[in-house]
Copies of this chain bind each other. A is one copy, B any other.
Amino acid sequence: MGLVNVLFGRPLASIEDLGERITPAQGIPTFGLDALSSAAYGPEAALTVLLPLGLAGVRYIAPLTAAIIVLLTIVYFSYRQTIAAYPTGGGSYTVAKENLGHRAGLLAAAALMIDYLLNVAVGISAGIGALVSAVPSLQKHTLALCLVVLAILTIVNLRGVREAGSAFLAPTYLFVGTLGMVIVIGLYQVIATGGHPRAAVEPPHLPAATGAVGLWLLLRAFASGCTALTGVEAVSNGVQAFREPVVPAARKTLTTIVAILIGLLAGIAALVHYYGITATDPGQPGYQSVLAMVTAAVAGKGIFYDFTMFSVLLVLCLSANTSFADFPRLCRAVALDDYLPHGLAVRGRRLVYTEGILGLAIFAAALLIMFGGVTDRLIPLFAVGAFLAFTLSQAGMVAHWRRAANGAEAIHSMLINGLGAVATGITVVVVVAAKFMEGAWVVVLLLPAALMLMVWVRRHYQQVTQELQAKDIGMAPRHPPIVIVPMERWNAATQKALRFAMTLSPDVQAVHVTCEGDDSILGEWRSVVEEPAREAGVSVPKLVSLGSPYRLVLKPVVEHVLKVEKENRHRMVAVVVPTMVERHWYHYLLHNQRAAVLTALLLLRGERRINIVNVPWYLRA
């Protein structure tokens, strides 16, 4: 366990749970990395759609960002209320399930799971993408680097939620700090120059317009910019991770995250506007990210530029951490309702839901490997899940207030959540419509598949529970079982097995397969078993000899056992298998694995009255 303890930390007892709870300061990196990192790609995504408008496109970034900030504010107030109403963890799944029914809950859960999974793959590959475009010699290691980051995130999260929060504190504040400085310095220059700042490094010339502005283009730009909102729901899912009292702590964390995000979005939009910066085509040579151009324009390409870019790529990589914090909690909630394997609800040695973390890591690794570490094509799939979950969650809150409807406060709350539901609902429609052909259809197909799978899992568990119903021990008359001992030759291992068999029942039969004419055991049997047993006055075991024309040793035994069971309708059968236990793995090559194969065969082909007894024989080390 040495290495395990070093990697994952010592096991935590259940009563240590409270010590693992986090403060708001740790909550920001734990639950906020996804939301904050979207400041790095939300504005860029909108500007890329506006590219065909040339210089005119830049003019629309301010109103678009304003719209996105309004939507963000609505969503913020909605989730503030959700946190208060569901202090035990009000993820979209719980809220939708309790207020709109199980189907709506499952739809929200499936949408969020897809969103979280995509977030891991896209976040890591965006960060590594930024790294390899800065250091081209690393290009050929793209996939390996992605997997290393994934492995680090997995290990840190397996160490427990508190450690993950602490580990990612520094990069988060570095990102917010450097980007904040860029914005403050830039805005100061804008004001000092009366709205006409001179860029330290000139951004690329704006391309000529190739299209006209239209409602559809603006809607698509808005839909793309909305990726900036993904991750805002994370805090409401993980309320129980905070120190008591949980509600104020969670609310404080959410407020801080959203305030910072709004500041970053507004600041970037203003600088883009005043410095006249637009996106460059990511497919073309000379591509620079919007953040890179903004930073260069404000601060030049010195050490501060490098530092800022490094913090951006670090935060992009780590934005996957939000998924690691929330995905396992979501899976746990769904598993507790029998819709996912129960193992997802078990807390591991560090009080986190180990199987959920591993499941997320495996799926994300598969996605990364499938796309070779470059997941650009997955980005259009991204916002659909998040906004669908938003909508269902807000709609659920409306139903919640309606039932609780007493007085003006409830109506006020209902209005806020209703506004949120309508706004995010419209956004879902816009996002799906705008990005359907680019890949959103994959999500539209995946969702019902995930729903069906979860319903199937639940049906299976219900069926098993029904099958397993038992009243009491039910004392019908019971005989000792018929005990069968398969025996290749007479030795200490079979002797031990036979002796043990004789303690279980007076009806013992040894079964021997005569293979290629070797029946030396028959003569031995009389002298080593029959006579001593008769002398001791105990009931004498029977020897059954089976032929095997095809040299198979196990098949005749299995068939004999099945026959004995069939002929004795009211008796249990116990097959005593002498099992050689190897102390070293390489001993496996030297001994046949017939005991293991026989056990498996009997379990698979057996009926309800056949039981298997393994009598181990230990080889000396």
Contact = CB atoms under 8 A, between A and B. Distances in A.
Contact of A550 (B14, B528, B579): B14
A468 interface: yes
A592 B528 contact: no
Given A499-B478, A613-B611, A467 B620 contact: yes
Given A474-B532, A608-B618, A343 B550 contact: no
A495 B467 CA distance: 12
Nearest to A340: B590
A498 B346 CA distance: 26
Contacts of A590: 341-342, 457, 460-461
B14 A533 contact: no
Interface in A3-37: 11-15
A375 B518 CA distance: 45
5 contacts: A14-B516, A467-B620, A469-B492, A470-B494, A473-B529
Given A472-B528, A481-B503, A613-B613, 5 more contacts: A346-B551, A469-B492, A472-B529, A473-B528, A606-B616
A347 B612 contact: no
A527 interface: yes
- Number of this chain's copies in the complex: 2
Nearest to A537: B475
Interface in A499-531: 499-500, 502-505, 516, 527-529, 531
A271 B516 CA distance: 54
A531 B467 CA distance: 24
A473 B468 CA distance: 41
Interface in A445-503: 457, 460-461, 463-465, 467-475, 478-481, 490-496, 498-500, 502-503
A342 B606 contact: no
A576 to B, nearest CB: 8
Contact of A536 (B469, B475, B581, B592): B475
Contacts of A192: none
A508 to B, nearest CB: 11
